[in-house]
Every structure is written in C-alpha cells, then in structure tokens.
Amino acid sequence: MASVNKVILIGHLGKDPEVRHLEGGNSVANFTMATNEYYKDKQGNRVERTEWHTVAAWRGLAELAEKYLRKGQQVYVEGRIRTRQYQDKDNQTRYVTEIIAEEISLLSNRPATDSAQPVVAAETPTTFRQEPELDQLPF
C-alpha cells in the first residue's frame, strides 16, 4: 500500500541558490534554509537552536529558484526527504540527507542586505511547483 514522505519548512535562506547543470540536460539548485527552535535550559534561560536544511530543486524548479530566491528570503518549501550515500575520499560510505523540493513559495520579498536589487517585482508569481515527472504519474 501507499506511503507518504512529506516535509514542510518555513525559514530563511542561508545563501543564494547554487545551480549545477548536469550531463544529460538536468539541472539542480541547492540552497540551505534555517529553522529555529527555542527552549529553556535548566537555569531557565532562553536558548535558541538553529537547524540547517539542505534543499535541492530539480529541473524547472531549479531555474525558478535561481531566478527568484536569494539569501535571507523567507520561504515555504514543501518536499520529501531523500538520503543519498556516497563514497568519501577515504572510500568510506557516507550519507547525506536532503529535502527534494516539490513546491516553493515566497513569504517575504526582502533580499539579503548584500543583494543589490529588489528580487521580485510586484506582479511576479510567488508559488512554484515542480512539474510532474514520470515518477509522479500513476502507472
């Protein structure tokens, strides 16, 4: 029977997306997002913990991410968890967990202070969805 693997994040981009164009014609944009948790320590002091998420946007979403996302923006990301394994330089198996984005929405328009111009014009679309891939079609 079916399963569900869904992630919903709201946070700020830690850096501008980095886009790579792969052999075979695919492209992927990677960026990081911060979410914050707060708790009180044993002395009752407010403590903040930042969780950093690595997001990967493929194909059409990669291009939209490259065009519209900038460091510091507040975004909503919906996607799924994927853990890849690879061999490190010592030939040991390592794992990296990423969020594969399926939908990205802009929640704020404010770019990072070191980004020059306003990112998004007023009439710009603010929700982007991954076009359905073969692997999302019923079969």
Partner DNA sequence: TTTT
Residues making contact with DNA (CB under 7 A): 1, 3, 11-15, 32, 34, 36, 50, 52, 71-72, 74, 109-110, 112-113, 120, 122
Query: Cα–Cα distances in Å, from 108 out to 49, 60, 96?
Result: 22, 21, 29
Residues 6 or more apart whose Cβ sits within 8 Å of residue 53: 9, 11, 32, 33, 34, 35, 99
Q: Which is nearer to a copy of itself, 20 or 124 (CB)?
A: 124
Q: Which does 56 bind (CB under 5 to 8 A by kind): DNA, a copy of itself, none?
A: none
Number of chain residues interacting with a copy of itself (CB under 8 A): 54
Query: Cα–Cα distances in Å, from 67 out to 9, 52, 126?
Result: 20, 22, 12
Asked whether the CA dihedral 100, 110, 63, 136 is positive or negative, the reply is: positive
Q: How far is the CB of 19 from DNA (least distance, A)?
A: 16
List residues binding a copy of itself (CB under 8 A).
1-12, 34-40, 46, 51-53, 64, 74, 76, 80-83, 90, 94-97, 105-109, 125-129, 131-139
